[in-house]
Amino acid sequence: MTQRRYIPKPLNQADGQPFVNAEEAWLWFAACQIARIDGIKPVAGDCAIPRPCDPDDIYRAVQRLTRQHRIGPAHIAVLGRFAVRQQPPAPEDGDGAGQAALWAEALDHLETELRRKGIVA
């Protein structure tokens, strides 16, 4: 006999406010991941600004871009490095211009994907 799986549906995501750009969405995703690692359990409706997605939607978009070879391991490394810092690369502060270029390229691809899904306005 097959067992039924319960998969909760997101609450009020259609009413959420889209992100301004992919950078804002990525840094929000990173903050959510950091909170998960720290053991904080998300509570529906407990955020200051409701968003039109789950953090996992942004993760899946990045994974899709990676599978399509639109972003590579170098892009992922830069996204991860600056996600932990919760700020974009700043070449004037010692971050390499190459890192800033990879950051911009990755977010450009991500923004196209997230805009198509209505996550970015």
Q: CA 45, CA 115: separation in Å to the nearest integer?
A: 23
Q: Specify the pLDDT at position 12.
A: 47
DSSP letter assigned to residue 50: -
Q: Specify the pLDDT at position 93.
A: 78
The angle at the Cα of 67, spanning 105 to 28, to the nearest 5 degrees, equals 55
On whether the CB atoms of residues 120 and 111 are closer than 8 A, the answer is yes
Q: Is residue 95 part of a domain?
A: yes
Amino acid at 57: D
pLDDT tens for residues 24-74? Answer: 999 999 999 999 999 987 665 567 788 899 999 999 999 999 999 999 999
Tokens of 54: 């789950």
Q: Is residue 91 part of a domain?
A: yes
Long-range Cβ contacts of 70-74 (<8 Å, 24+ apart): 70/109, 71/105, 71/106, 71/109, 71/110, 74/102
With a cut of 70, say whether residue 19 has pLDDT above it: yes
Domain ranges, residue 76: 22-40+51-116
Q: Is residue 1 part of a domain?
A: no
Work out how many domains the chain is built from and give that number.
1
Q: Is residue 5 part of a domain?
A: no
Q: Is residue 66 part of a domain?
A: yes
Q: Is residue 7 part of a domain?
A: no
pLDDT tens for residues 66-110? Answer: 999 999 999 999 999 999 999 999 878 778 889 999 999 999 999
- Higher pLDDT pick, 80 / 7: 80
